[in-house]
Amino acid sequence: MLATVRGRALRESFLLGLTTGAIYFTGTLYWITRVMAVYGGLSSWVAVLVNAALIAYLALFPALFAIIVRRLAIAHGRRALLVAPLVWVATELGRTYLLTGFPWVLLGYSQATVIPIAQLAAVVGVYGVSLLVATVSAALATVGADPKAGRRFLPLAVIAIVAVTVWGSLRVSRGELTHAGDPIRVGLVQGNVDQGEKWEPARAAAIFDRYISMTRQAIGDGAGLVLWPESSTPFMFEEDLQGAARLRALAQQARVPVLFGSDQVVWKSQNGLRVADRMYNSAFLLKSDGTTAGIYRKVHLVPFGEYVPLRDLLFFAAPLVESIGSGFVPGEQATVLPVDVAGGHSLSVSICYEVVYPELVRRFVLSGSELLTTITNDAWFGATSAPYQHFEQASMRAIEEGRYLVRAANTGISGIVDPYGRVIARSGIYEERVLVGDARFLRASTFYARHGDVLAYACALVTAALLILSRRKEQVSG
């Protein structure tokens, strides 16, 4: 921030922001190269090139932040640092939605494990936490740029941190949400199936038997609801009648609902033949009588994993395009699924990285979700920092929405998070594990659940207004 207000040209500020973004996203998204090379069929150098293209795109947002702050500094002097946090949040909001968005590792997630500070998300979401972190950075930068203004701004930032910490600590200590609603004991099945084995015909039966056995174990430990990971069935549930019958029978015999991920095909008739029309990454919920309670189709698909954005432009990634083919089709609705336990409740499912979209999870809650679930297959990531990043970002949704969040991951991390972001139970990565713990169906809503990202949009509007005023000031001065 400090460098953007010290008399630099706009071009130089842009390059500083771009460099900063490149360093940040290289350090947090390095694992994408492995995904492309191991599972996308790309040579190592092409995988690096694809990863570099994504990093370069994401780095444009810190670059945009830098150039906006510099333009404001030209018009208003070093006081522009006072509004730099608003500009930062505006660029994070843009990164969430432009070109379908990629809101991975937003600044506010740095506080996901700092539970008192993270409570701010219940009011203003993860963007509000980003604003707080950016405000502290701006205050420190102001001390260096304008000591007189810094002596006023820094104490205000410290007061804000102390106030949020005290309020957050009191909110957590009261723990009202942990005593509300109806309890449910949840079983999470972490099969730890190697990605290369899942679709091998010789391994399919053994994998399915493993999941059935682990489900029985979870039910034996008292689970009243069992979750399998994303795409956990080694077959398409609606296409394999024998496998589907075994799973339905298990739910019916135990009188326990089962939620699991499986690919889904919608067929059409063409020239008298039955051909695949659309493919969905779906979640199925079986009722305790074995019938299908509902199906959720994934809305936000993973770029380069489930579809290839800008296919024509990325011609050098031809093996990846061919590997993914036409890709999945996104679902259209934030469907909430009914659960026939404890008199009847509703839950929602975020599949894989959908959970990093705050507004989508909020739509689930507004539609009646009383329990947040997320199913994922993080085997793609390997033993990198990605599974840990993914889990902590998912935890922030629990705070925002005031809901328990339960997560089943093929290779980890599976876990249960309470409405205050505290981890009740969790597994490690790359271990076969049955995790059983307590959650609750909740109906009370947080301020964030009711009002959404009003703060983030306000930051965007203020940023736009300041840019317009700065432009007018330059014209008058000229």
Bond preceding residue 413 cis, omega within 30 of 0: yes
Residue from 230, 354, 392, 401 carrying the catalytic annotation:
230
Residue listed under structure tokens 């608003």: 86
352 flagged as catalytic: yes
Residue listed under structure tokens 């730099």: 84
DSSP state of 319: H
268 flagged as catalytic: no
Per the structure block, which two tokens stand in for 387? 């599974």
* End-to-end CA gap in the chain: 27
Residue from 287, 306, 352, 459 carrying the catalytic annotation:
352
Q: Which secondary structure element, helix H or strand E, spans residue 139, and what is its range?
A: helix 121-145
Dmax (CA) of the chain: 80
Q: Which secondary structure element, helix H or strand E, spans residue 266, and what is its range?
A: strand 258-270
435 neighbors 188 (Cβ within 8 angstroms) = yes
Query: How many Cβ atoms sit within 10 Å of the Cβ of residue 7?
Result: 9
Amino acid at 409: A
**What phi and psi, each to the nearest 5 degrees, are found at residue 279?**
-120, 130
Per the structure block, which two tokens stand in for 377? 């297959």
Residue from 92, 198, 287, 298 carrying the catalytic annotation:
298
Amino acid at 231: S
Sign of the dihedral through C-alpha 52, 58, 59, 60: positive
Helices (H) and strands (E) in the chain, counts: 14, 12
Per the structure block, which two tokens stand in for 142? 């102001």
Question: Catalytic site residues?
Answer: 230, 298, 352
